[in-house]
Amino acid sequence: MSKLIGVFGGTFDPVHNGHTKIILNLLQLISFDEIKVIPNGVPPHRASIGSNNDRLKMVYLAFQGINQISIDEREIHRKGPSYAIHTAREILNEFREDRIVWIMGSDAFSEIDSWFEWEEFIDLVNILVMARPGSKIDTTSKAQSLIKDRQVADIGLLEEGAGNILIVDIDPVNISSTQVRKNIGCGEGVGDLILEDVSDYIEAGKLYTKNI
């Protein structure tokens, strides 16, 4: 029987409670067999942000213990830019019988038409968009016209075909990595924003102390 596989990519710099909460909420709403969390690779010269290794380790800490989650390291280890379309093609080749759903926040979806080979990408997978506080999709944007043409209302349709867009209404969580980095840079607490294990990791490595 074919499986329903979610893909949740991001920079996770660092991973925060918004990431984990929305995924836990989604798992209550939709019976994913698996959600692959895929941290992207970032160029080494971006020294002011967490290294590939640190971001990956924090992602493992944050999602540990959630059964349906697997951490997928392919983009971290792949040379060159982490383009979603390359990852999608690879995963589709590996899981030929299964349905792939790309999971993203409304801020990421708003900019979908800037993604590398985005037109091919949106035909390859189904996309699930979660509302994010402060990120309404502009009514004149390409993203909005894609919603008009491709939005489906039925979660069940995610299990069929590709090229559909589902907007899910889950409790919005007003947390961003930018906020976390800012707080740490200013010496403010991050208690409610990230998990304790992630916070301990950041503290031990003195990460983000220069990011204001």
CB of 13 to ligand ATP, least distance (A): 6
CB of 1 to ligand ATP, least distance (A): 28
Binding positions for ligand ATP, rule: CB under 6 A: 10-13, 18-19, 22, 104-105, 107-108, 130, 132, 173, 175-178
CB of 68 to ligand ATP, least distance (A): 17
Alpha-carbon distance of 178 to 133, in angstroms, equals: 14
> CB-wise, 164 or 177, nearer to ligand ATP?
177
> CB-wise, 53 or 93, nearer to ligand ATP?
53
> CB-wise, 97 or 209, nearer to ligand ATP?
209
CB of 96 to ligand ATP, least distance (A): 25
> CB-wise, 92 or 170, nearer to ligand ATP?
170
